[in-house]
A and B are shown apart, each in its own frame.
Chain A
Amino acid sequence: MARRPRRNRNQSPFSAPATTATPQADSLAIGIERLFSTPPFNRLSLAQVVGLMLLLVLINIPLVVASVQIWQQGIIALVVTLLGLWLSRFERLRGLLVWLSLLVTFRYLYYRTVYTLNLDSGPVDAVASLLLYLAEVYAVVTLLVSYFQNAYLLERQSPPLPDNPADLPKVDVYIPTYDEDVNIVRETALGAMALDYPRKQVYVLDDGRPDRYAKGDARRTLAQQRREQLRQLCQELGCTLITRNNNEHAKAGNINQAMAKTDGNLILILDCDHIPARNLLKDTVGFFQDRLVFMVQTPHWFYNPDPFERNLLAAGQVPPANELFYKVIQKGNDFWNSAFFCGSAAVVRRSLLQEIGGIAVETVTEDCHTSLRLHKRGYRSVYYGKTMVAGLAPDSFASLVGQQVRWARGMAQILRLENPLFAKGLSLPQRICYFSATFHFFYGIPRIVYAVAPVLFLLFGINPIRGLGLETAAFAVPHLLLSTAASFSAYKRVRFSFWSEVYEFALAFYTAWVTSLALFNPKAGSFNVTAKGGSLKQRLFDWQSSRPLLLLTGLSLLSLFAIPFWLILSPDAWQAVLLNTIWNVYNLSLLSGALLVNLEQPQVRRAHRLARELNTLIHAEGRSWVGKTVNISKLGALVKLEGWQVLPQQVELEIFGDYSARVSLKASVVRVEPRPDDNTDVSFNFAPDLSQLQQDNLALVIYSDVRQWYSQEPKRLDNPLHSFWMIASTLIRAIRDPQPADSHRLRLSVDAVAHLHWPDGNSTPARLTAIDLNGLRLELPPDIVRRLELQSRTRPILELSIHKRAEESALGRFIVSIPASQFHQVRSTARPESSNLVTLRQAIGVELEFPTRLQPRQGSHIQTVLYQLDQNYSPQVVG
């Protein structure tokens, strides 16, 4: 098989696929690559290359330890940093930047170790100094392993499948559920059934046993109902429901137990809210032609904003939190054959899984643990980077905390129980990658230490860094900036600058607690299911759990007030004070962001909109319009139409998926937005009474019939300054109430005459200035307006005839309603002040509507009148 990816073989290592490289950077990178592809380098074996690299690293020791004067170090720092920042523009040269960053990092670490440990100024200083030092060592170690992990991002292409369906392996699709809403399961099961693969069988593995509740418990009845619904669902859709009579080992136990009952060669595991795209199996099964492959993992992707995006009001402006892992880290892991199982959206080989006794049950991150065991046996994993499932992110920060805490605990458990660094059977890179994965979750304590350190100095005069000053800065700044630049270069599409810090600050206290606990007692802790699919109506601040963070933020804020005292009382410590102040302000910005994550923002939309471009037909009044959805949810869609269009209130929509799925349903126009590019954006709400078939088809169209998810190619690029500003300015945005977008009514602007026919038989002519399918606008003298107002209070219906000109015959007679609310506005806004009296006397605009109930009878008639009034049919925004 071995179809080579289309990747350029000469492309630089240590880089993501180049897209923005400039000619100079390219020629430099190509030059270097070519140099190392010529003799004698091309004759070296892999081992020799590794040896050569180690030798080169050793030769660099003097670069790290060479001691120079402060000003000299300052100049060195400046030159190297500027160069590094310049290099960060070229992805292809990221490897160079990484090595440069490593060199300055080690130079800093050496300086920090040799000169700045404050161990002899008393025990308090010594403890603070050691803690900060260890925290920095943690940071350097994670930086190191992350550079290693992301040395090369493997972009895989899907291998072709055999043509004969009989040669295909049989695939079982598992959808483990616990107590989730049946509707959520339904969509996933639908998606699974719609998978484009001939030899598959879908199983719903329900762990929501009614008998886990005592008899008489109301929840037992609910669970029984739910189980029954699931049974019907499976019957209806053609999948198999598998249940068991205990809940041992939660999800892992559920899958293991199901494995004994099914017989597919491969198993696709889907979380119950992960709706698979149609091609999921077609794209992944081909990898299993290599007999050693035990798993193909695909990315998880959430179509709703995660709590960070939502609560920091950054949805759509920053990449979601898990993007970094699935777009970069797993690809890097894959290069080192250590991409690991993430619990869902992965196809695994049953025989190999059974070889190790099924999914691991000893830790709460059973997925990673399972792949560790299989890797130890020499099997291979594949990470296929195409997004193939759409899922739901935790909808509140609290549930995200639950999820993260579980991961942190599980990873710490793995580190403790089966330390990947010393595990037998793993290759060195695998050890490093697994170590990185597990060690990452220990960020809690270092993060807290970073926040506390400047506070200690400013408030209590405890100095964790001896001789903190410009010299320290001269060593630290290149380290910080270059490592940031190297990360920027690799992550600029998937993780914006400083957001990692916010994530870590927000979760620091939780993960610090569980990881420490898990280190001492790795057996503790059970599996908790991440709650999803809920929705929040109001702002809510979680005072209880954010107390530690509040305290930290308060201290940081307080320490700013100590600065003037420092400057007055010990002005000679200005360097230390300056650096601590900068550090503290930086911390404070991030802390404020982290704190605001705890402020749960209400969800504006009732259903999450997906930015999908689906072909849509709109039928109404015997006419059809062609459009493309801009975004769509289960409740409505935003459709882009060519030209400025006037649509009736009620329409019939026909929406087509990327392949064959389609749905046809009724919808009403909610909002019309004429665009300057001569398009019209129309918001539709789907009719509330959709049939089950319509709902199913809609779900398939939205979530399953997908050629490529729009999130596959991120469009936004990181801009560090903007990113920092976004975090720092969260507070300003967070306190503003979200406002729904304004609707603009598209009408024909005309100059015609309308006659109002009063109930008493009289008629009054009026000037007709604007009209559309829903209503019209008249300009009337004030006395007539007053009469209309009176009429609106008693019987808000009136007959009206429309004439193109005063002397011509009527084009049509219509019943209109008089909305009473407009007269209040008139009165409150236009007070009869002397200067305005004249204008008021002349003419006042009044809106009249065609009643919705009469739409079927009047609708086509109105349409005809519109064409007669304006041959060009060019609607405009009026009023």
Chain B
Amino acid sequence: MSFPRPHLRLARWLRAQQPRFRFRPLLIWGCLLLCSALAVVSVTQASAQNLDRSLEQRENQIIRQFSLPRPPSRPPVAPARRFAPPPVNPRAAPRPAEPKSTARQPASAQTPASAKASVSAQAKPKPNSSFTQVVQFNRSPVVGNRLRLEGPFAETRLAFTRPADWNVKSAEAVIRFRHSTALDSSESNLTVRVNDTSLGSFPLNLRDTNIGEARVPVPAGVLQDANEIAIIAQHKNATQNCTSADDLTLWTEVLPDSQLVFQYEAQPLALDFGRYPRPFFDPLNLGTSHLSYRVPTTLDGDWLTAAARFSAHLGRLAEFRPLDQSLIRSLSPLQSRLQQWGSIVIIGTPANQPDLKNLDLPFKLVGDQFLDGNGRALPPDVGVLVATTTGAEQYLPVLVASGNGPQGVAKAVQALVQSPDRAITTGEAVLIDRVDNIPTPSEQAWPGYLPPGNSLTLADLGIRRDVSLRGSNAPPLAINFRALPSEAFDPRHNTLTVRYSYGAQLDPRRSTIEVLLDGVSLGSRSLDSPTGDSRRSLSVTLPGNLIQPDSQLQIALRMRPQSATACTASADQQLVGTIHTDTSFELSRYESFELPDLALLRHGFPFAAPQDLSRTTLVLPESPSDAELELLLASAERLGRLSQAASVKLNAQTQNSLTPQIQAAQHLIALGSRARFPLPEALKANASSFDLGSSLSRLRGETRLQTLPDRQGVIAEALSPWNRERVLLTLTAQNEQGLRQVREFLRRDNRFFQVQGDTVLIDVDDQIKILNRQTPRRIERLNWAQQFTRFLAQNWYLLPFITVLSALLLFGISHAFVQRALPGRESL
């Protein structure tokens, strides 16, 4: 029998075709000639027309070497503040630091504290006067109303920062505590350390659970920008000879009204872009940072885009720190309001921002044009960044992002929001000629989340060195194992192979290694060699449905000493285990998500994919109101907080400048009060949706009701009517008050992270109502095999039938095969 050979047939066919291509070289030469002739003709025509323009360009290229104005003799500074710190958001509070033995996060990543005694410290403004700030423990969500230290040895840590403009004179930790009456007063004590410097110990000798107060002076020299206060309790039971680790009577409560009291003087900050974002925004600030945007005379897409990008950028800088962005219409308000303004941001051309004329700028402003040092107007596409001050005594820092044309302004803002460009800015003023276009990262590149790829190691998750865990109570190694919001995992095909070693002297019967995902134990194995072992491995299956965007994986070594008695708790430092960096993950992940789903918005999805926000456009009504602008800033800030990339490419448009192309290609966030809503078609009610009708009426399906008054804000997500792969997020309300509700909702973490469903109604009293009005659409990017596999896994009962069906088909086909092959053999 002979098998046909397709490749031979193909070769024959090609040979047969060859003669037709014999004239190919001629043809190619002909084409080339024609093309070059056309090019010459068009170039000569174009050059005639564009002669002037090219001349100008060439001229510009020469002029690009601008001469700069003479620098000031003394570096400019933002004078020290004249006010006591304003009362901060009472919810912002310190958080306990991660335990020391695990991967430690930078201490600066802690929430500033609140000021309890701020009222008392609100002294009259006086030059170089000292201020008092009280930071209480109780605002931390972890501290809440209790901070308990249990066991023979217990330690807790809280982190706090020192704002950049503080010159701390003195500080004091006031620890208020209560402890168990079972403690042996002679051998139980409480130690306070700040930045690993022990500052004092106190015996735990109170009677009858009285409240004790320990005042520990903290030397100013100990304090750094990021600080950590550790409270260590050593407990011993008075009635027993030895102390058991499990003894429940060994406790000390540090009361939540314990506090840190700082005495400081405000100090001036240099106006230098090398130190950006200071003085405009201080990441170390303990309270809320305030920024005010000067509203330009005309509001167009360019300004909205620039402001949105800047706001998103600030959101990224602030991370979880509170930030208050507001709008001002004039730079000459009442003195009393100045302190609410914080730093001032002026974005726009001199024509659009008339206040620029009143500022002390290094560049001369003639007419509406910036001039360089030689008195020539800067080209319109050159951006100007200036750090300056204003206010009565020039203590308000002002950030100017300007230029002689809108492109210049955009460049100025872009230079600040792009981290590589920001890193090379310095000085009081910066001229931006060109800005590199940073390529958009892929949709799957989400910093802080699982990196792309199915085979990962610990190093890919940020743990680049082996981690040793020591002691019987060693806290587990915690690994952020955050799935992308857009992805799903196969239920079974995900494995983690932990490579570990452990030392000698542990009790093989009671010591285990355990892997937990969000507290759910996935697998464990006993550490069964009493002499220790190295490079063992443990494979566990990670259940796909448990891996969430906020998942944390823990690898715990539960080590017990060999001759364990109640008193050996102290002799456990020989117990050591190491998790190696070649611990690996084999994942089976694919893109799968449902839209609309506001729960995904908690992680910024889908607007933050890609992370430079380049696929998101904010849409506002024509000539937006202040409330709408503030909502724009808050939305952009929230998106900034939820994303991380080298650049921000967020867009903002007004209703009229929104083109159909953008409408179809981008995720849209439409904001505005109902009456002025920029995309009214998105508000149209249909049978199953909730909607605000005309003023004072609401529609939901067939239900129609009128409410009086309606102060609720609405956040609703729906698939974009112009592209089923994109979403449209609606931020709206019947009136401005409602819009402010939405803004507050976006600004505050604890409220924002409750968002879910597809529609959220926000009430004045922090209440939210969640509606599900649409059937979400699942979007999956799977190849056919993955889709089929998933389908089968979900409909397992079909598996035998499909198997039989498939076998029948193959049976039939093989019959057809034999029918064709048989005659050749039988005809012998």
* Pair B815/A95 contact, Cβ less than 8 Å: yes
* Residues in A30-52 with C-beta less than 8 Å from chain B: 32-33, 35-37, 41-42, 44-47, 49-50, 52
* A56 with B810: CB separation less than 8 A: yes
B221 at the A/B interface (Cβ < 8 Å)?
no
Contacting residues, chain B, for A13 (C-beta < 8 A): 814-815, 817-819
1/0 contact string of B495-508 vs chain A (CB within 8 Å): 00100000000000
Of chain A, the residue at the smallest CB distance from B827 is A2
Contact in complex: A62, B792 (CB < 8 Å):
yes
Give chain A residues whose Cβ lies under 8 Å from the Cβ of B800.
76, 79-80, 83
B754-793, CB < 8 A from A:
785-786, 788-789, 791-793
Is B459 on the interface with A (CB-CB < 8 A)? no
Query: Within 8 Å of chain B (Cβ to Cβ): is A569?
Result: no
Which residues of B are found within 8 Å of A99, using beta-carbon distances?
Answer: 806-808, 810-811, 814
The proximity string for A residues 1-22 relative to B, scoring 1 for CB distances below 8 Å and 0 otherwise, is 0101100010011100000000
Q: Report which residue of B3, B806, B816 has the largest number of chain A beta carbons within 10 angstroms of its beta carbon.
A: B816
For residue B438, CB closer than 8 A to chain A, the reply is: no
| B808 close to A96 (CB less than 8 A) | yes
- The reply to whether the CB of A400 lies closer than 8 angstroms to some CB of chain B is no
Q: How far is it, in angstroms, between the C-alpha of A290 and the C-alpha of B826 when the chains are bound?
A: 12
Contact of A37 with B819 in the complex, beta carbons under 8 Å = yes
Contact A67 B827 (CB under 8 A): no
For residue B812, give the distance in angstroms from its CB to the closest CB of chain A: 4
Q: Determine whether the beta carbon of B803 is less than 8 Å from that of A104.
A: yes
B-chain residues with CB within 8 Å of residue A380 when the two chains form the complex:
828
Q: Contacts of A46 on B, CB cut-off 8 Å?
A: 3-4, 817, 820-821
Docked-complex contact A72 and B796, CB < 8 angstroms? yes
* Residues of chain A in range 146-205 having any CB-CB distance to chain B below 8 Å: 151-152, 154, 156
Known A-B contacts: A42-B816, A100-B807, A120-B537. Give 14 more (CB < 8 A).
A32-B815, A36-B815, A37-B816, A45-B820, A49-B816, A63-B803, A66-B796, A67-B490, A67-B491, A68-B799, A83-B800, A102-B807, A154-B826, A335-B821
B704 on the A face (CB < 8 A): no
Q: Within 8 Å of chain A (Cβ to Cβ): is B539?
A: yes
Closest chain-B Cβ to A62's Cβ sits at a distance in Å of 4
Contact among A12, A156, A428 with B815 in the assembled complex (CB-CB below 8 Å): A12
B815 contacts A427, C-beta separation under 8 Å:
no
Cα A323 to Cα B492 in complex, Å, equals 46
B804 CB within 8 Å of chain A: yes
| Interface pair A67/B826, CB less than 8 Å apart | no
Q: Which residues of A contact B536 (CB under 8 A)?
A: 120
A13, chain B: closest CB distance, angstroms: 3
Could you tell me which B residues sit within 8 Å of A by CB distance? 1-4, 6, 490-493, 497, 536-539, 785-786, 788-789, 791-793, 796-797, 799-800, 802-804, 806-822, 825-828
Q: Contact check: which of A56, A66, A382 meets B828 at CB < 8 Å?
A: A382
- The SS class assigned to the A binding surface is helix
Task: Give the distance in Å from the alpha carbon of A72 to the alpha carbon of B491 in the complex.
Answer: 14
Residues of A within 8 A of B797 (CB): 72, 75
Is A260 interfacial (CB 8 A cutoff)? no
Quick check: is A496 within 8 A (CB to CB) of the other chain? no
13 contacts between A and B (CB under 8 A): A14-B814, A47-B3, A50-B3, A56-B806, A62-B788, A95-B811, A95-B814, A99-B807, A99-B810, A100-B803, A120-B539, A337-B825, A428-B3
**A558 part of interface (Cβ distance < 8 Å):** no
Give Cα A334 to B828, complex, Å: 11
- A287–B825 Cα distance when bound, in Å, is 12
Q: What chain B residues lie within 8 Å of A44 (beta carbons)?
A: 816
In A63-108, the 8 Å CB interface with B consists of 63, 65-69, 72, 75-76, 79-80, 83, 93, 95-96, 99-100, 102-104
| Interface range on chain A (Cβ under 8 Å from partner) | 35 or more
Give A427 to B491 CA distance when docked, in angstroms: 43
Whether A33 and B812, one on each chain, are in contact in the complex, defined by CB atoms closer than 8 angstroms, is yes
Across the interface, do B811 and A14 meet the contact criterion of CB distance under 8 Å? yes
Q: Are B808 and A67 in contact (CB under 8 A)?
A: no
Indicate if the CB atoms of B818 and A66 lie closer than 8 Å. Answer: no
User: Given A47-B6, A95-B814, A151-B814, are A63 and B785 neighbors across the interface (CB < 8 Å)?
Assistant: no
A contact residues around B4 at 8 Å (CB): 45-47
Query: A45 vs B3: C-alpha distance in the bound complex, in angstroms?
Result: 11
Query: Which A residues are in CB contact (< 8 Å) with B791?
Result: 62
- Cβ-closest chain B residue relative to A290: B828
The one of B538, B803, B825 in contact with A103, judged by C-beta atoms closer than 8 angstroms, is B803
Count: A-B pairs, CB below 8 Å: 159
Assembled-state Cα–Cα distance A428/B490 (Å): 37
Complex CA–CA separation, A46 to B662 (angstroms): 52
Distance from B503 Cβ to chain A, minimum over Cβ atoms (Å): 19
Given contacts A49-B820, A380-B828, contact A56 B796 (CB under 8 A): no
Q: Please give the distance in Å from B592's CB to the nearest CB on chain A.
A: 16
Residues on B with beta carbons closer than 8 Å to the beta carbon of A35: 812
Residues in B whose Cβ lies below 8 Å from that of A152: 818, 822
Q: Is A61 an interface residue (CB 8 A)?
A: yes
A56: chain B residues within 8 A (beta carbon): 806, 809-810, 813
- In the bound complex, residues from chain B placing their C-beta under 8 Å from that of A287 are 828
On whether the beta carbons of A32 and B808 are closer than 8 Å, the reply is yes
Judge whether A66 and B538 touch: CB under 8 Å.
Answer: no
CB of A57 closer than 8 Å to a CB of B? yes
Contacts of A154 in B (CB 8 A): 825-826
The CB with the most chain A CB atoms within 10 A, among B797, B800, B804, B806, is that of B800
Whether A96 pairs with B807 at a CB distance below 8 angstroms is yes
- B813 surroundings in chain A (CB, below 8 A): 36, 41, 49, 52-53, 56
**CB of A214 within 8 Å of the partner chain:** no
Contact B785 A53 (CB under 8 A): no
Question: Chain B residues with Cβ under 8 A from A293's Cβ?
Answer: 828
Expressed in whole angstroms, the minimum distance between the Cβ of A45 and any Cβ of chain B is 7
**Closest Cβ–Cβ distance, residue A75 to chain B (whole Å):** 8
Which of the listed residues B497, B807, B822, B825 has the most CB atoms from chain A within 10 Å of its own CB? B807
Q: Does A719 contact B (CB under 8 A)?
A: no
Contacts of A693 in B (CB 8 A): none
Contact assessment for B828 and A103 in the assembled complex, using a CB-CB cutoff below 8 Å: no
* A66 partner, pick from B2, B792, B811, B817, beta carbons under 8 A: B792
What separation, in Å, do the CA atoms of A79 and B800 have in the docked complex?
Answer: 7
- The 8 A-B pairs with the shortest beta carbon distances in the complex, nearest first, are A13-B818, A66-B792, A62-B788, A99-B807, A120-B537, A36-B812, A62-B789, A68-B796
Contacts of A9 in B (CB 8 A): 819
The interface residues of chain B lying within 8 Å CB-to-CB of A12 are: 815
Q: Bound complex: CA of A60 vs CA of B490, how far in Å?
A: 18
Q: Tell me the residues in window 382-434 of chain A with beta carbons closer than 8 Å to chain B beta carbons.
A: 382, 427-428
Closest chain B CB from A525 CB (angstroms): 35
Measured CA separation A114–B495 after assembly (Å): 10
Q: What are the residues of chain B within 8 A of A4 when measuring CB–CB?
A: 826
Q: Which residue of B lies closest to A95 (CB)?
A: B811
Q: In the complex, A440→B578 CA distance in Å?
A: 48
